């Protein structure tokens, strides 16, 4: 095929159009100017083209691509320039890699002839991203651009999803297209479904007296949530949904145990403690879930599409490499079922303490804020968080009802994820209310994206649970390090006593004053609430507002996230109070 009238930039936008890419999130710069010029020309001519959403910093754009992918199941795309643009994108790339998020990150690069000369804004993007991406490409010849883009999008979404990086030289964007190179031949073969191994997993489940399914994010990626529900009902097996699988099983379902692990629910952790059989479906054996003695005295089975996960952290036998949908359909068609009334009765007793009850006081309890948001949104909002205590309270007290409504950073634990990811999630599904629950520490790490929010009239409702601390670190320091939290107090100033480590509920120095952000970002409504009795009304006011809202919620400064399994401890040593 000859494309004598097209440039590389034209090929780029043609391919993305053919792939039905609706949005790109990014920031511009010298090494991607040809792409933006071509896009602008197409828009000026009234041609159909993806929408480019300008972020204030490249990292924010990358997290928005993640939020878009998590909320929609479609591939999230970010486009940034070379050098610092690419390096700012490495955290979102690593974040997407840890949580298996289907994303394509496109970076500009200096002209191909300048590579290796330490040119202005040159960086080895391929070398930087190799260990944190599913695959990456450096495009130095326009003849390779078309097939590389097609393959990148294919790899991002197939098998175990993940981020793919395309590093695109500037001269390739400007070059005129001649004859194009054919795609490379790939030698990897799909693993055929092994019925014998699948039957071995089912047989082990049928033999068990106290089985538990540990459902991971792979259930959501595979679109298998409904099949999972039918499976757990058919075999009467309770299911713990890991962090990345929240929403795959509705909160109120009798088999739902909630989230397991360090800050998991009482029923999830106790069921995993007492289980004689644990079946992990599409999930890793993360160190915050597979804690000390996790597998002791238990049969562990594992079904996953990624063969590298089988036996990586915990030995599993039986095990099966397969698409989760294929396995669940096979199990449901097997004609087998089970009844375990005694085990489900015990699970039901534990479920009476999910979520864990909490007390009241003169300060607002963060658990009450999350429960109020859950009630007023009927558990149907797309819920986004940053990283910290607020994130764990959200996992515990929001009553999730559907897959893809939970958008948060799991494996990497990236503070600052919340605001840009919420913007991406809104573009993915604007028909659902998007609520961001953040902490005062995490929120400030990408606070500049309020500019993106108000410029695009995005009606995200932001609730900052403000305790004046980097709260999760403060909690660990109090529980395990003698209360030395000098560098975790966000109210500290140069005038403070250097030896001050005692939390003071009355010390509320604000850096920044969040309510004053309405003067900085026009069209942003801001509210503050300090009184527990006024909190529900303020939450309702924010949710009913038509535009973006930021609510500064002054919560109890020393409230801890419980339950908690401390590092190095077993599930049976969980702290409940």
Q: What is the CATH number for 438?
A: 3.40.50.970
Local structure of residue 191 (DSSP, 8 states) = P
3-state secondary structure of 327: helix
Q: What is the pLDDT of residues 212-265, one digit of tens each?
A: 999 999 999 999 999 999 999 999 999 999 999 999 999 999 999 999 999 999
Render the burial of 513-538: b for 16+ CB within 10 Å, e for the rest. ebeebbeebeebbbbbbbebeebbeb
496 and 383 both lie in a single domain: yes
* Per-residue pLDDT, 187: 66
- C-beta of residue 386 within 8 angstroms of C-beta of residue 442: yes
Q: Which H or E run contains 376?
A: helix 366-376
Do 346 and 373 lie in one domain? The reply is no
Is 576 part of a structural domain of the chain? no
Domain match, 75 and 213 both: no
Tens digit of pLDDT per residue, the chain (577 long)?
444 589 999 999 999 999 999 999 999 999 999 999 999 999 999 999 999 999 999 999 999 999 999 999 999 999 999 999 999 999 999 999 999 999 999 999 999 999 999 999 999 999 999 999 999 999 999 999 999 999 999 999 999 999 999 999 999 999 999 999 999 887 677 889 999 999 999 999 999 999 999 999 999 999 999 999 999 999 999 999 999 999 999 999 999 999 999 999 999 999 999 999 999 999 999 999 999 999 999 999 999 999 999 999 999 999 999 999 999 999 999 999 999 999 999 999 999 999 999 999 999 999 999 999 999 999 999 999 999 999 999 999 999 999 999 999 999 999 999 999 999 999 999 999 999 999 999 999 999 999 999 999 999 999 999 999 999 999 999 999 888 877 899 988 888 888 888 888 888 888 999 999 999 999 999 999 999 999 999 999 999 999 999 999 999 999 999 999 999 999 999 999 8
Residue that is last in its domain, among 328, 351, 374: 351
Domain CATH number, residue 330 = 3.40.50.1220
Both 304 and 333 in one domain: the answer is yes
| 103 within a domain of the structure (yes/no) | yes
Is 336 a member of any domain? Answer: yes
Domain boundary among 316, 351, 386: 351
| Residue 573 included in any domain | no
Q: Are residues 45 and 71 in the same domain?
A: yes
H or E element at residue 329 = helix 324-332
Do residue 376 and residue 433 come from a single domain?
yes
CB-based contacts of 415: which residues, under 8 Å, 6+ apart?
386, 387, 388, 441, 442, 445
The residue from 140, 174, 208 where one domain ends is: 174
Residue 188 falls inside a structural domain:
no
Same domain, 313 and 393: no
If asked whether residues 94 and 235 sit together in one domain, one would say: no
pLDDT at site 4: 57
Q: Per-residue b/e over 334-354, b at no fewer than 16 CB within 10 Å? A: eeeeeebeebbebbeebbeeb
What does pTM read for this prediction?
0.96
Gap between the Cα atoms of 364 and 531, Å rounded: 6
Q: Is residue 295 part of a domain?
A: yes
Residues 341, 370, single domain; the answer is no
- Are 553 and 369 within 8 A, CB to CB? yes
| Distance from C-alpha of 154 to C-alpha of 149, rounded to nearest angstrom | 9
Clarify whether residues 397 and 482 are in a common domain. Answer: yes
Number of domain units in the chain: 3
393 and 460 in a single domain? The answer is yes
Q: Which of 268, 547, 251, 529 is nearest to 426 (CA)?
A: 547
pLDDT value of position 265 = 97
Specify whether 155 is located in the same domain as 223: no
Residue 359 lies in a domain: no
| Active site members | 58, 120-121, 170, 472
Domain, as residue range, for 445: 366-554
**Are the C-beta atoms of 470 and 488 separated by less than 8 Å?**
yes
Q: Is 559 part of any domain?
A: no
């Amino acid at each position: 095929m000859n494309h004598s009238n097209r440039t590389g930039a034209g090929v780029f936008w043609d391919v993305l159009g053919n792939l039905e890419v609706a949005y790109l999130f990014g920031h511009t710069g010298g090494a991607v100017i040809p792409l933006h010029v071509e896009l602008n020309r197409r828009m000026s001519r009234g041609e159909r083209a993806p929408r480019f959403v300008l972020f204030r910093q490249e990292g924010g754009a990358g997290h928005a691509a993640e939020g878009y992918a998590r909320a929609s199941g479609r591939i999230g795309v970010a486009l940034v320039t070379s050098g610092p643009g690419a390096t700012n994108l490495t955290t979102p790339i690593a974040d997407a890699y840890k949580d298996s998020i289907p994303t394509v990150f496109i970076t500009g690069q200096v002209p191909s002839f300048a590579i290796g000369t330490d040119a202005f804004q040159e960086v080895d993007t391929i070398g930087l991203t190799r260990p944190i991406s599913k695959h990456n490409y450096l495009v130095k010849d326009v003849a390779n651009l078309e097939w590389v883009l097609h393959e990148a999008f294919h790899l991002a979404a197939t098998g175990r999803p993940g981020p793919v990086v395309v590093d695109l030289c500037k001269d390739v964007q400007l070059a005129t297209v001649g004859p194009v190179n054919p795609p490379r031949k790939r030698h990897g073969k799909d693993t055929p479904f092994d019925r014998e191994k699948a039957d071995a997993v089912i047989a082990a489940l049928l033999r068990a007296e106290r089985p538990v399914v540990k459902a991971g994010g792979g259930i959501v990626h595979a679109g298998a949530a409904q099949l999972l529900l039918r499976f757990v009902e058919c075999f009467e097996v309770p299911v713990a949904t890991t962090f990345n699988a929240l929403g795959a099983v509705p909160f109120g379902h009798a088999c739902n145990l909630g989230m397991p692990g360090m800050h998991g629910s009482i029923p999830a952790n106790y069921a995993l403690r007492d289980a004689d059989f644990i079946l992990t479906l599409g999930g890793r054996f993360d160190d915050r879930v597979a804690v000390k003695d996790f597998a002791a005295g238990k049969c562990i089975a594992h079904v996953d599409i990624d063969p590298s996960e089988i036996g990586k952290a915990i030995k599993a036998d039986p095990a099966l490499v397969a698409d989760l949908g294929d396995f669940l359909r096979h199990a449901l068609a097997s004609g087998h079922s089970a009844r375990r009334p005694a085990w489900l009765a015990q699970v039901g007793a534990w479920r009476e303490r999910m979520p864990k009850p909490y007390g009241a006081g003169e300060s607002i309890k963060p658990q009450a804020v999350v429960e109020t948001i859950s009630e007023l949104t009927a558990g149907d909002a797309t819920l986004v968080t940053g990283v910290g205590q607020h994130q764990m309270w959200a996992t515990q007290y929001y009553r999730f009802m559907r897959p893809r409504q939970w958008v948060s950073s799991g494996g990497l634990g990236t503070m600052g994820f919340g605001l840009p990811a919420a913007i991406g999630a809104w573009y993915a599904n604007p028909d659902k209310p998007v609520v961001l629950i953040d902490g005062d520490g995490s929120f400030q790490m990408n606070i500049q994206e309020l500019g993106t929010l108000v410029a695009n009239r995005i009606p995200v409702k932001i609730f900052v649970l403000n305790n004046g601390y980097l709260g999760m670190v403060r909690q660990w320091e109090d529980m395990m390090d003698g209360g030395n939290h000098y560098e975790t107090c966000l109210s500290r100033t140069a005038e403070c006593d250097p030896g001050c480590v005692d939390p003071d509920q009355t010390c509320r120095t604000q850096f920044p004053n969040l309510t004053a952000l309405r003067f900085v970002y026009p069209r942003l409504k801001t509210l503050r609430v300090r009184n527990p009795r006024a909190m529900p009304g303020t939450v309702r006011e924010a949710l009913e507002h038509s535009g973006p809202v930021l609510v500064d919620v002054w919560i109890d400064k020393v409230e801890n996230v419980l339950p908690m399994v401390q590092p190095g401890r077993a599930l049976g040593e969980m702290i409940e109070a």
